[in-house]
Amino acid sequence: MPNINVKPSGNVVAAANGSTILAALLAAGEPIAHKCDGKAECGSCHIFLLEGRKGVSKITPAENAKLDSIVGVGSKSRLACQVTLGDEDVTVELLGFASGF
Ligand code: FES
């Protein structure tokens, strides 16, 4: 059962293996935007996946295409709705509300 270490809050969210980062964060009450409800269409759930990148699902063409359209993406950018957790803990930086989504 992986933990999600959330920045900048410092909260730690226990997540189920196989859940998406978005689903786990929402279940824990973390403030993350999700305008298209997980369809990789809105980009509002953009996060930086700081640690644990090797233990999660790989980026899909749909996610990659959406990320390409977002200002401010970097090498650690992911869409929280498209990242399925494995066994490893991850550290994420939430950006959505701070960047105006
Ligand atoms: S919720 Fe819309 S892209 Fe993730």
Q: Is the CB of 46 under 6 A from ligand 1?
A: no
CATH class of the domain at 3-94? alpha beta
Which of 20, 81, 83, when mutated, tests ligand 1's pocket best, judged by the most ligand atoms within 8 Å of its CB? 81
Average pLDDT over residues 34-49: 95
Q: What is the mean pLDDT of residues 36-54?
A: 96
| C-alpha closest to that of 94 among 37, 45, 27 | 45
> Are 2 and 85 contacting, i.e. CB atoms less than 8 angstroms apart?
yes
Give the residue, out of 20, 25, 44, with the most ligand 1 atoms within 8 A of its beta carbon, to mutate for a pocket test: 44
Q: What is the pLDDT of residue 100?
A: 40
What is the average pLDDT across 61-76? 94
Whether the per-residue pLDDT at 72 is higher than 60: the answer is yes
Alpha-helical (H) ranges within the chain are: 21-27, 61-68
